[in-house]
Amino acid sequence: MANSGNSASSRDVAFVLHPYTNLELHQSAGPQIITRGEGIYVEDEEGKKYIEGMAGLWCASLGFGEERLVKAAERQMRTLPFYHVFASKSHLPVIDLAEKLITMAPLPMSKIFFANSGSEATDSVVKLVWYYNNALGRPKKKKIISRQRAYHGVTVAAASMTGLPFNHRDFDLPIDRIIHADCPHYYRYGLPGESEQAFSERLAINLEKLIEDEGPDTVAAFIAEPVMGAGGVIVPPKGYFEAIQPILKKYDILFIADEVICGFGRTGNMFATETYNLQPDMITMAKALSAAYTPISAVMLNKQVADVVYENSGKIGSFGHGFTYSAHPMCAAVALETLCIYEEREIVSHVRSLMGYFQDGLQALAEHPLVGEARGVGLLGGIELVEDKDRKKNFAPSASVGASVAARCLEHGLVVRSLPGDIITLCPPLVILKAEVDMLLSRLRMALDESASFLGK
């Protein structure tokens, strides 16, 4: 119980402000305390084991207890526990990591800027876009187009690009110069009788109109997750990026691919940029960059952008952006070891060997009376729960059906995430095995069956 003496639970309630939490409810309900992890499993303080069906927060790609990453961190802590990369200082881990990432890039890239989280990476992109256009003498070309239901982080600029109400409400967001285009969710926003291809073409027409209405000389960049994660695992409809990208080129608008969730094997390629044949000018990444063992993120810049940034810093005298812990040597060393593990263990091949099986199992859930749509790619999936399948009618938010299903999953030893709109998301560690996929989907189905019985479905 949250108020039982001097327990860990009571001390949590007394001292910890939890993100993405109903804080008032937490005061009485208290936390679930996780004490250890191994493989795809985590264990709570009572000794109950769970399949971590969300890889933590879309990030623990190699699962828990990977000894090579522990040793990489220890080696670096004993050698050089900290140094910075300000004012031309450097260290071997950052040099090696940057070089490795450039060789792995899904298309030619020039430079890597390091930060500590996905939010910091996408926030840095905003500043880079503004810096770039000022350097080119285009002081009006500053607006950044994101999309409804996008998720790009929670810092002021990143949260503004995020297109979810809870990230804006009562935070005085979004800031100006951030605008939002249509969400490319065919199931929810396609018109009656409209094909996926026609839906994509309509969204492209709407995007071009938005650019024209705003003024092409004021629109600087378009940012997109290849697959929208926290918005509900929304997979792009057929022809979407093929229709969007020529418009960006036409109006000289930079394209930023936010690979914070999708990068490093999740979609069956090292980057989702390859999966969807994207041609971005910048790519953001975090989460699986270090398999979540250390906080680190990165922004890849192509030569066009990097050259302008470098030249402008020469005119000004400095590139006035960066973080104390940018390219922290321990974090960089762990990230480098993570990338080596991906290659040595052929993680992408492993994902490819399982993803059809995983997606088939997910699609089988679409027949469930509570499921309106099952969707996903690679080892990433979501199911959208509805009250009426034929009309795609949502449950009333007050019914908390998604939260109830997630709670029943916990009872069966499975961690999932419930998102607004009663969407249950799955993002298991990439090292999951076929038998473990069966267990994951079986536990989810049991939770759905129990919830359907309770609701009289």
pTM of the model: 0.96
Classified by CATH at the fold level, domain 69-344 comes out as Aspartate Aminotransferase; domain 2 (3.40.640)
What would the two tokens of residue 179 be?
């605008």
Q: Rounded distance, CA 269 to CA 255, Å?
A: 20
Q: In the predicted model, what is the mean pLDDT of residues 184-202? A: 98
**Would you give the DSSP letter of residue 183?**
-
pLDDT at 451: 97
129, pLDDT greater than 90: yes
What's the whole-number average pLDDT of the chain? 97
- Nearest CA-CA partner of 81 in 73, 92, 71: 73
Q: Rounded distance, CA 169 to CA 93, Å?
A: 40
8 Å CB contact between 260 and 228: no
Length of the chain: 457
Of the pLDDT bands very low, low, confident and very high (cuts 50, 70, 90), residue 4 is: low
1, pLDDT greater than 50: no
Q: Measured in whole angstroms, how far is the alpha carbon of residue 31 from the centre of its chain?
A: 24
What are the pLDDT digits (tens) for 353-407? 999 999 999 999 999 999 999 999 999 999 999 999 999 999 999 999 999 999 9
Q: In the predicted model, what is the mean pLDDT of residues 138-158? A: 98
Q: Rounded distance, CA 258 to CA 147, Å?
A: 12
* Amino acid identity at 64: F
pLDDT at 456: 87
From the number of C-beta atoms within 10 Å of its C-beta (0-12, 13-18, 19+), residue 64 rates as buried
8 Å CB contact between 108 and 283: no
Based on its alpha-carbon atoms, the radius of gyration of the chain, rounded to whole angstroms, reads: 22
Q: Rounded distance, CA 158 to CA 168, Å?
A: 11
8 Å CB contact between 329 and 82: yes
Domain range list for the chain: 32-65+346-455, 69-344
Distances (CA, A) of 366 to 374, 383, 396, 445: 5, 8, 20, 11
Q: Rounded distance, CA 242 to CA 233, Å?
A: 20
Q: Rounded distance, CA 118 to CA 353, Å?
A: 28
Q: Rounded distance, CA 11 to CA 343, Å?
A: 42
Classified by CATH at the fold level, domain 32-65+346-455 comes out as Aspartate Aminotransferase, domain 1 (3.90.1150)
Give me the residues paired with residue 297 across strands: 115
Q: Which of 3-7, 206-210, 427-431 has the lowest mean pLDDT?
A: 3-7
Distances (CA, A) of 356 to 226, 251, 363, 378, 437: 19, 38, 10, 7, 11
Q: Rounded distance, CA 342 to CA 337, Å?
A: 9
Q: In the predicted model, what is the mean pLDDT of residues 229-243? A: 98
208, pLDDT greater than 60: yes
3, pLDDT greater than 60: no
For residues 3 and 364, which has the higher predicted lDDT (pLDDT)? 364
2, pLDDT greater than 60: no
8 Å CB contact between 341 and 347: yes
Q: In the predicted model, what is the mean pLDDT of residues 407-433? A: 98
CB neighbours of 333 closer than 8 A, spacing ≥ 6?
72, 73, 75, 76, 93, 97
- Nearest CA-CA partner of 72 in 340, 434, 318: 340
What are the pLDDT digits (tens) for 264-321? 999 999 999 999 999 999 999 999 999 999 999 999 999 999 999 999 999 999 999 9
154, pLDDT greater than 70: yes
238, pLDDT greater than 80: yes
Which DSSP helix (H) or strand (E) runs through 221?
strand 219-224
Contacts 24+ apart (CB under 8 A), 387-394: 392/187, 392/188, 394/421, 394/422
DSSP string, 404-449: HHHHHHHHTTEE-EEETTTEEEE---TT--HHHHHHHHHHHHHHHH
CB neighbours of 177 closer than 8 A, spacing ≥ 6?
142, 143, 144
8 Å CB contact between 444 and 424: yes
pLDDT at 225: 98
Q: Rounded distance, CA 282 to CA 248, Å?
A: 13
What are the pLDDT digits (tens) for 63-112? 999 999 999 999 999 999 999 999 999 999 999 999 999 999 999 999 99
Q: In the predicted model, what is the mean pLDDT of residues 318-339? A: 98
Question: Hey, how many other C-beta atoms are within 10 angstroms of the C-beta on 48?
Answer: 12
**Would you give the DSSP letter of residue 234?**
B
